[in-house]
Amino acid sequence: MNRSLALLLVAGCVTLQGWGWGQAAPAQGSPEQAPAAGQKSSDANRPPERAAAPQSESGGFPLDQFQEFSAIMTGGILPGSDWESHIYRSRNLMRVEGRDAGHNYFVMDLEKQKSHGLAASGCLKIGYLNSRAFPFFLFGPDKKYERTPVGEETVDGHPCHVEDVTISSSELQTTIHLRLWEAEDLQGFPVKIENRPNRAPPRSMEYKNVVLGPQDPTLFIVPNQCQSSANMEPLTKAPPAAAPKKAPATQSQ
């Protein structure tokens, strides 16, 4: 495994590690954010069946229903992730392309939160998820979901229900606030998801060319032999320590 693969898959691709699972700064106990200006949020503009959406417990994550799909994703939760890339999901497996589309990609296990990074120069096992899997991995019985209808909008030609989703768990560093634009003509698939940290500007992900249905299983195959990132040499090496200087010899009188 050469160092170029490590640079490509680890240093060159943003991950969620150390970012508080999508929040820019840990902050707990902050109030709910108000709907963005110009968005419809009154009860009169909400569909009757959604106006009193109850708080749901485990299994209430709205993205859980989309176990099989493909799309082209733009944007991301971290700066520098605004390129377009294909994204595929088949149950708990997700494949996303890296910045150099067609030459490197990740296959991730959303439940185990582990990844395989693949490129022409090799394969690397990584003990965390690529950030472009956010927020699809935020499921599980340990999490609590609160869903609040916001209104109706049209995004990229899709009429959408808009709702805010708050996710909390003892395993998360902070409460996560999302806004979802759920397309009526795509069975409620969100064509736009906005991450709304308490102490940072919101960042959004948009999805187009969405195809719902079973995906090609060969998209998620990874080699049997992949090097672990834990066993790789550091990407930068410290310079060798200089040899201690010898004190000048003294002549005896």
**Residue 64 covered by a domain:** yes
* Residue type for position 14: V
Task: Please report whether residue 241 resides in a domain.
Answer: no
Query: Is 244 domain-assigned?
Result: no
Residue in the block written with tokens 């485990």: 58
Residue 187's region, left for phi above 0, alpha for psi from -120 to 50, else beta, is left
Q: Dihedrals φ, ψ of 131, to 5°? A: -65, -20
Task: Tell whether 195 is covered by a domain.
Answer: yes
Task: Domain of residue 204: give its range.
Answer: 3-21+41-229
The DSSP output letter for 161 is E
Report helix, strand or coil for 14: coil
Of 140, 142, 14, 155, nearest in space to 76 by CA: 14
Say what the pTM is.
Answer: 0.69
Is 34 inside any structural domain? no
Q: Is residue 191 part of a domain?
A: yes
Question: How do residues 79-130 score in pLDDT, each as one tens digit?
Answer: 777 788 899 999 999 999 877 656 788 999 999 988 898 887 788 888 888 8
Segment 136-195, tens digit of pLDDT: 999 888 889 999 999 999 999 999 999 999 998 887 878 889 999 999 999 999 999 999
User: Is residue 105 helix, strand or coil?
Assistant: strand
> Total structural domains in the chain?
1
Question: Residues of the chain with pLDDT > 70: what percent?
Answer: 66
| CATH number, position 71 | 2.50.20.10
- Domain presence at residue 75: yes
